[in-house]
Structure 1
C-alpha cells in the first residue's frame, strides 16, 4: 500500500545554527516535480537539496553537499513512509558550524521524515489505463459513468468524428464500466487496454 500527499506541507527546524525548511508536495509527472523544485528553491540559501519518487522513477540531488548526504536520505525518507508521487525539497541556510556527513544525512533525512509524518496523506489507488472513442453527445454520460467507477480522464482528444479518451480505472471496476458503456452506446463503445510503454 502506498500513499501520496493530500497537499503541500512544510516543516522548519534549526540544527546547530543551520536553518532547514522542508517542503513536500504531491506530483503527477517528473516535469511537475522539477517545476515545484524551481518554484520553491531559494537562490539565497546555501543549499536546495531534493528528491522525488513517481512509481519506478526517482531522482535526488545533493546541491553541493557532500555526495549522498542530502538527496539520498530525503529519498529514503519518502520510501520508508510508503510515499509515492511525492517531491520533497529541503532548503538549508548554513549557520557556521559543520555538521559532518552523518549529521548532514540525519538533518536532511530527518527533516523530510518529520515533514511527511505530520502531512495529510491519501492512499494511492491502483488504476489501469484504457482508450475509448465516443460521440460528442455521449461524452458527458461516459464521464459520469467513469466518475461513478472511481475512474479518471487522463486525456481527451476531439476529432471530426467524436472524442478519443484515455481513462484510468481500478481493476475491480473495469467489467461494470465496460457493461455501462455497451449499454449507453448499443455495444459501440469498447475499452482498449493502453499498451505499456
Structure 2
C-alpha cells in the first residue's frame, strides 16, 4: 500500500566541509514542487545546488541541479521509491565546502540526506476513495445507512424525493464488496446512479 508523509521533516549532514540540508514533505504535483524549490533558492541564494526528487505518479521528477548526472536527483528518487512513498518531495540544499566528494560520495551524501529526514517522518497510508450514489425505496433507507456505517463509509448527501438518493465515499479496495452486499440486502430494489465498479 502506498504511503505518504504527514508533515515536512528536515535533516542536516556535514560531509568533508560540504553542508547538506535535506527535507522531505508531502506534495501533490510537479508545479507545487517547483514552487517550493524556487522558494528554497530565495531562502538560500548562496547555496551551490538545490537538488530535488518528486514521487507523484506521472508527475515524478529527479533533478541534479548542476551536480554530475545521476549523482543527486535519481538516488534521492530511489530512496522515495524504496520506501513505497507517493506524493512526496525530497529536496537537498548543498553548500560546497571546497573538497570534491566524487560521484560515489555525492550519491551517498544525497541518499543519506533523504534517508535521514525520512527516519523522522510520520508515514501514513494513502487510502483511495470511490464515490458512490444510489437510490432506494424509503423502506430500505435504514438498511443502506446501517451498511454505510458498518463499512466505514462516509455519507455525504441524502435527498428525499420519490425515492431516497444517497451519496457516499468508501475505500476503493472494499467498494465492490460493499456494492455487492447492498445489492443482496436490497433484493434488486437499490439502483446505482453511477457505475459502482472501479
Distance across 1 between alignment mates of 2:154 and 2:55: 23
Q: Does 1:48 align with 2:50?
A: yes
Distance across 2 between alignment mates of 1:62 and 1:40: 15
TM-score by length of 1: 0.70
Equivalent runs, 1:1-197 vs 2, <5 Å: 1-41=1-41, 42-125=44-127, 127=128, 129-130=130-131, 149=152, 169-173=171-175, 176=178, 190-192=193-195
Distance across 2 between alignment mates of 1:5 and 1:58: 16
Q: Which runs of 5+ in 2 are unaligned?
A: 135-147, 157-166
Q: Which runs of 5+ in 1 are unaligned?
A: 134-144, 154-164
User: How far does the alpha carbon of each residue in 1:147-195 deviate from its partner, in whole angstroms, 9 at most, with x for none?
Assistant: x845699xxxxxxxxxxx9x6742314564795xxx9xx9677234699
What is the RMSD computed on CA atoms of the aligned residues? Answer: 3.4
User: How far does the alpha carbon of each residue in 1:124-159 deviate from its partner, in whole angstroms, 9 at most, with x for none?
Assistant: 22x2555769xxxxxxxxxxx79x845699xxxxxx
Q: Is the 8 A contact 2:3 2:125 kept in 1?
A: yes
What's the secondary structure of 2:13's corresponding residue? strand
What's the secondary structure of 2:60's corresponding residue? strand
**Change over 3 Å in CA distance of 1:170–1:152 after alignment to 2:** farther
How many residues are matched? 170
Distance across 1 between alignment mates of 2:179 and 2:38: 40
User: How far does the alpha carbon of each residue in 1:69-90 deviate from its partner, in whole angstroms, 9 at most, with x for none?
Assistant: 1101100111112211100000
Distance across 2 between alignment mates of 1:32 and 1:55: 14
What's the secondary structure of 1:96's corresponding residue? coil
Report the structure number with the largest CA radius of gyration. Answer: 2
How far is the alpha carbon of 1:52 from its aligned partner? Answer: 0.5
Distance across 1 between alignment mates of 2:13 and 2:67: 18
What's the secondary structure of 1:66's corresponding residue? coil
Q: Is the 8 A contact 1:10 1:22 kept in 2?
A: yes
